[in-house]
Structure 1
């Protein structure tokens, strides 16, 4: 979502102020730092980065801070770093052009509604478009700062989503990446109070777009993975067979204290059903270890889920206290050495599963959409189920979906040969 927000800002600044991007910071007339605040480390890093940019920027260059950290710190950013010219929160991206013009601007309204705003067009990839389908979040997970930085969940009207994808396909995109905090909760709330819809219906509508070959999405919520949604995921040939199912924790007591809304049994049932319906599926997840009060025994439930599901990819973290969240003030915060030990156990177990998963692709043929050239003469892209695949090739393969026979596998990527 931050990547897409950045694309929106580049597009708006290009349209309204004729800004262009540069790879050389010393040439920049404007430096924008788009921030995340899901974990503590990026927030701490912000101010050191700001100081560095302020020292190196050319005279007269402006500095702005945007994104989730901008939302929750607001004007305090300018108080701590007076050389910052403006602050624009994650729900106020459409105001970036005006903010650049007025020093001291702070736009951080988390209730601002941008669901019907048509941003100017900019995409970093010629072959894939990222499209927001909703803004904000209607959940109240006790560890998560997102509702305090991105506001309540509102779905973007279907016709606006379809129009944006059709325009991107006309300009060469073959794949769409649908974005939202909980994409499969789509259609519950529209700002114009239209009738409710569903994510499954949206997927069906998007599938009808001529020229669009692949559909990806992130992140669905385990709570809303009903059978209708899973059936559409399994049977729709345009939907890529990779799915992110964020676990967070495997113990029912911890899940309840996190306010996740599902149980270990429900999560395992959904993953088992996905595996049975889609044999070549790749499942990724998020895991937080050492949530306040989590005992060693409760942590074993997380390990048990990892053992049973054997995720292809895991984004795992030690619990990080965040402002504006109930968990920040919970008793029994876990000491870092315990958290580090648990995290390492998850990492080590997952590595063994990764090796097992990747080796099974040796000798198989996969359809790969090639996206980028490497300096060493290789070109890479992604299979339908989101394996990164490298081949020796030239730019003539860019944007094409071709058959590749896999000849080598390592933990994070595959190598192969184009099947002519």
Structure 2
């Protein structure tokens, strides 16, 4: 039997969202502090850690494919699975040949202790704490040395129970960091020379609940006001915020701030009130329309991204046309389009009117085409204007890229002196 006493190299891989990315980076630092050497995921390592997503069935499949690939390339290595898939389906993962350890949400950040006790076996993996009721603490996380911008986790979990969503089952109740702790993390990030922080969470606008889920005397508006005063960070972005939690005072603050970028990502999910009701969303399309209008009135150059789900149970052609036409007339910049997939233990699984996969895929294609046109139009509106671009360090075949303050992607021949610097750029 092989144990971890002399196994000192680790490779980590992230599936899913910005929140997962921030947590993987923090796990990397925890392991490096204990003497583990970080390796690229394609290299042979003693330990492989996969931080999983389970928003769609594809994310589950991708995890299983990666495990098989590791088994072929490094059959004697330890494989650890954590993240949302691990929390939701620990027994399913434990049965995958080659997996040694499954860490639920409550044990993810105790990975070092678990690795010290791990022994390679040929049987099922060890499963550690996948009872969602155990998930009450808050673990702050942020990425450093991974890219020009940093994802800073300030909130976790969700108290909403949208009928399609597994996140409350995978991440537990809504809970947040304190403003004091967030500011300390932001100062650490600033000391590392990083120019932009992206605030991440499951339900950012719900910021202010403690590890026990009880409301503190803090809220998201107070958080962004405090962050605006941090020295050394030049740009902040709000990764995603629910339309019913995006208050007018937040919009007004971003409009007047030099540090918070003119960029909102606001989940819609459907442009049909009937479908929004079936989804158990906490708003109707009229509120969404009002938020977009308020943003554009105060910040005309603001980028607005939209999440939308197609093929939800009961979504007729008429409902889909409502969504398409609603998005078409909205002054938004781009879409993230998700094809509905059945998730076990969600309310939506039992709804009537399942949509054939071929129709779901066709609707996805239609909205992705709309997104392409929206982004082209938004970019064209800014042709000839000069905006500030933060360029990333990656040299991609002699090219580099960066984003304007309002999230227009810019590509140009690589220049080392521009990396991690903000450049005035005429579009």
Same fold flag (TM > 0.5): yes
Match of 1:353 in 2: 374
Stretches of structure 1 lacking an aligned partner (at least 5 in a row): 407-420
2:47 is the alignment partner of 1:30: yes
Q: Give the number of equivalent residue pairs.
A: 401
Moved over 4 A (4+): none
Question: What do residues 182-230 of structure 1 show as CA deviations (whole Å, max 9, x unaligned)?
Answer: 1112114454957322111100001111112111122200111221122
State the alpha-carbon separation in 2 of the partners of residues 208 and 357 from structure 1: 30
Aligned match of 1:236 in 239, 253, 257? 257
Question: What do residues 54-73 of structure 1 show as CA deviations (whole Å, max 9, x unaligned)?
Answer: 121053x1111111000011
Stretches of structure 2 lacking an aligned partner (at least 5 in a row): 1-18, 119-125
2:136 is the alignment partner of 1:113: yes
Q: 2:158, 2:174 within 8 Å by CA — same for their partners in 1?
A: yes
Match of 2:108 in 1: 93
Q: 1:65, 1:87 within 8 Å by CA — same for their partners in 2?
A: yes
Match of 1:409 in 2: none
Q: 1:281, 1:385 within 8 Å by CA — same for their partners in 2?
A: yes
2:425 is the alignment partner of 1:404: yes
RMSD: 1.9
Aligned match of 1:52 in 43, 46, 69? 69
Q: 1:75, 1:106 within 8 Å by CA — same for their partners in 2?
A: no
State the alpha-carbon separation in 2 of the partners of residues 48 and 376 from structure 1: 28
Distance change in 2, residues 1:122/1:357 (3 Å): closer
If the length of structure 1 is used for normalisation, what is the TM-score?
A: 0.90
Q: Note the C-alpha offset of 1:343.
A: 1.8
Greater shift in the superposed pair: 360-369 or 1-10: 360-369
2:356 is the alignment partner of 1:335: yes
State the alpha-carbon separation in 2 of the partners of residues 195 and 399 from structure 1: 36
Match of 2:247 in 1: 226
Aligned match of 1:308 in 302, 326, 329? 329
Q: Give the secondary-structure state (helix, strand or coil) at the position aligned to 1:346.
A: helix
Q: 2:271, 2:324 within 8 Å by CA — same for their partners in 1?
A: yes
Structure-to-structure mapping, 1:171-250, within 5 angstroms:
171-191=192-212, 195-250=216-271
Q: 2:90, 2:127 within 8 Å by CA — same for their partners in 1?
A: no
Question: What do residues 93-148 of structure 1 show as CA deviations (whole Å, max 9, x unaligned)?
Answer: 21111222233242324332342x566x8613464222111110111000001011
Distance change in 2, residues 1:194/1:331 (3 Å): closer
Structure-to-structure mapping, 1:150-169, within 5 angstroms:
150-169=171-190
State the alpha-carbon separation in 2 of the partners of residues 126 and 292 from structure 1: 39
Aligned match of 2:302 in 278, 281, 294? 281
State the alpha-carbon separation in 1 of the partners of residues 407 and 425 from structure 2: 14
Q: Note the C-alpha offset of 1:355.
A: 2.0
Q: Give the secondary-structure state (helix, strand or coil) at the position aligned to 1:196.
A: coil
